[in-house]
């Protein structure tokens, strides 16, 4: 299927690197800023690269485009990032034509994401396409391909459960709270500590619960105020922790201490209290479970929830691959049609020229010649002949190239 992917001696390539072989530091070297994207696209245009899409996320940087050699794309990437060719070659992948298409389908449908079923990348691909189109760096092939990938991504999202469930600990925390606490928007929540998972949980809680009763306490109050400003939270002094715990319904512990920061002695409360310990090592002492009103959930339990989710998602991979195969089949058929479209068009033009000459000749030769009827019949015959040829080329893909050559020879065609 490769010859018809060529555009004037060029092939379709994907070049890039991802989390699979490149660590965060190296991925950072090849990160492409929005400004750099524009410069790369402009330069690619001058260098005769046919259509180019660029994606750059924290997990991958990839370029997709038509070039005479993949090094043209690699050179562009290295010139406009902090990465070197030597560094790129150690961690990179280069896919050509059919493999490049397959890779793009896999990436765009979340099957190649660090978290299986993460669909963030599809919005990146849409954005990349818009940026390239605005500068005149797309063609019918890339437009059709991106649309096919978007369609596959939508269907996989809607028809499978590959993106269901919580996959990050902070999101699993919110899931746990939403599933186990009634009227969450009316409950008091206390976030103790400013660890990353705690902050993310806090952000997710605000987003999903519309809760406006969140208080933050940190040993260093200025740090607490800095974070609280972002999320519009109430900040209380560390000295008040005991009274704050007695007023709260949910306590999220995100401290980074080596020993427990919350123990049984700090809890004076009879109503139910849910404690989420999101710290490593544990920062909530086990003795809090001796209190009958306290439920303690640790990071390990939430991590297990995310592991189970990812394990469960794997069972939907064959279903997702079947959807990709179906849409890829439609795309390949379109591609095959494009391969012989110029020949069919040239054949139609040739037959039309023969028709025009013949009608001119008969008009002069036959008195009361009915030109209108002759044109209707000729056009229908031309349509039937070209359809026969088109169907033959579609049905006999294996020898299509030979057939095209024969048609061109017999009818002395010049593809327009």
Residues tagged active-site: 58
Helix-helix angle 317-365:140-159, to 10 degrees: 140
Q: What is the Cα–Cα distance from 185 to 189, expressed in whole angstroms?
A: 10
Main-chain phi, psi angles of 388, to 5 degrees: -60, -50
Residue 247: exposure state from Cβ atoms within 10 A (0-12, 13-18, ≥19)? middle
Tokens 């899931």 sit at which residue? 175
In terms of phi and psi (left: phi > 0; alpha: psi -120 to 50; beta: otherwise), the region of 11 is: beta
Length of the chain: 416
Assign 3-class secondary structure to 221-239: HHHHHHHHHHHCCEECCHH
Sign of CA dihedral 159, 165, 168, 173: positive
Q: What is the Cα–Cα distance from 257 to 270, expressed in whole angstroms?
A: 27
Bridge partners, 7 (sequence order): 10
Residues 14/16/21/25 CA torsion (nearest 10 deg):
-170
Query: In this structure, how many other beta carbons lie within 10 angstroms of the beta carbon of residue 66?
Result: 24
Query: In this structure, how many other beta carbons lie within 10 angstroms of the beta carbon of residue 193?
Result: 24
Identify how many contiguous H helices and E strands the chain contains and give both numbers.
15, 10
User: For 77, what's the count of Cα atoms within 13 Å in the CB-facing half-sphere?
Assistant: 33
Please state, in angstroms and as integers, the Cα–Cα distance from residue 110 to each residue in 21, 240, 331, 335, 347, following that order.
Answer: 18, 46, 19, 24, 43
Q: Is 298 within 8 Å of 274 (Cβ atoms)?
A: no
Residues 6+ apart with CB under 8 A from 392: 403
Query: In this structure, how many other beta carbons lie within 10 angstroms of the beta carbon of residue 312?
Result: 13
Main-chain phi, psi angles of 138, to 5 degrees: -130, 165
């Amino acid at each position: 299927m490769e010859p018809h992917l060529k555009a004037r001696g060029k092939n379709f390539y994907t070049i890039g690197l991802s989390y699979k072989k490149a660590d965060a530091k190296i991925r950072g070297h090849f990160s492409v800023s929005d400004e750099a994207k524009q410069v790369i696209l402009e330069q690619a245009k001058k260098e005769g690269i046919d259509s180019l899409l660029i994606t750059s996320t924290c997990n991958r940087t990839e370029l997709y485009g038509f070039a005479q050699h993949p090094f043209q794309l690699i050179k562009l990437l290295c010139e406009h990032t902090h990465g070197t060719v030597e560094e790129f070659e150690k961690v990179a992948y280069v896919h050509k034509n059919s493999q490049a298409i397959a890779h793009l389908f896999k990436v765009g449908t979340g099957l190649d994401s660090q978290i299986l079923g993460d669909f963030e990348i599809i919005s990146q691909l849409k954005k990349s396409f818009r940026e390239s189109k605005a500068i005149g760096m797309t063609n019918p092939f890339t437009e059709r391909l991106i649309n096919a990938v978007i369609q596959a991504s939508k269907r996989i999202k809607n028809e499978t459960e590959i993106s269901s469930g919580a996959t990050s600990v902070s999101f699993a925390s919110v899931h746990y709270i939403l599933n186990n606490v009634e009227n969450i928007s009316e409950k008091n929540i206390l976030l103790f500590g400013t660890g990353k998972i705690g902050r993310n949980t806090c952000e997710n809680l605000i987003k999903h619960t519309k809760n406006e009763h969140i208080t933050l306490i940190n040993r260093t109050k200025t740090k607490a105020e800095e974070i609280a400003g972002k999320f519009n939270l109430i900040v209380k002094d560390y000295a008040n922790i005991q009274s704050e715990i007695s007023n709260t319904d949910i306590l999220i512990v995100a401290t980074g201490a080596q020993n427990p920061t919350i123990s049984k002695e700090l809890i004076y409360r009879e109503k139910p209290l849910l404690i989420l310990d999101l710290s490593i090592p544990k920062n909530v002492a086990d003795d809090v479970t001796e209190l009958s009103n306290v439920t303690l959930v640790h990071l390990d339990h939430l991590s297990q929830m995310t592991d189970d989710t990812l394990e469960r998602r794997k069972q939907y991979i064959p279903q997702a691959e079947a959807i990709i195969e179906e849409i890829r089949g439609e795309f390949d058929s379109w591609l095959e049609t494009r391969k012989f479209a110029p020949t069919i068009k040239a054949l139609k033009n040739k037959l039309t020229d023969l028709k025009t000459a013949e009608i001119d000749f008969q008009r002069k030769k036959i008195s009361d010649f009915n030109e209108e009827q002759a044109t209707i019949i000729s056009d229908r015959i031309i349509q039937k002949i070209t359809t026969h040829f088109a169907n033959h080329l579609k049905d006999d893909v294996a020898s299509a190239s030979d057939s095209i050559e024969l048609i061109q020879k017999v009818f002395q065609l010049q593809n327009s």
